[in-house]
Amino acid sequence: QVQLVESGGGSVQAGGSLRLSCAASGYTYSNYCLGWFRQAPGKEREGLAAIDSDGSTSYGYSVKGRFTISQDNAKNTLYLQMNSLKPEDTAMYYCAADRVWGCLLRDYRYLEVWGQGTLVTVSS
């Protein structure tokens, strides 16, 4: 059974940094896309960053240049380094996995596996 477990959320002041982690277990596909998404209250879920199994990365416009996605294959862990955080970054952050590349380009509702989310709060 595939499981994704996020951690690393918390409260931070504007301008600060956080690193989110997503531990994956039971995911053995050779081709995959791993992505980070977020959802603020009353808003649609937003794709932030994704990494395909060939190592290529993609970013959403709102976080490009501030957030960095990476993975440690030995630890089966996905990361999201978030710098220069803004109050508008406040949201629940989720990681997701799918067997098809380019998960930021597709409707998030059809991605195969989701974690439970970790809350990030940025105060001004």
Closest CA to 9 of 110, 90, 109, 101: 90
pLDDT tens for 113-123 read 999 999 999 99
Q: What is the reported pLDDT for 30?
A: 82
pLDDT tens for 103-116 read 998 999 999 999 99
Q: What is the reported pLDDT for 87?
A: 97
Q: What is the reported pLDDT for 58?
A: 96
Positions of the chain with pLDDT lower than 50, given as ranges: none
d(CA 23, CA 100): 19
Q: What is the reported pLDDT for 29?
A: 80
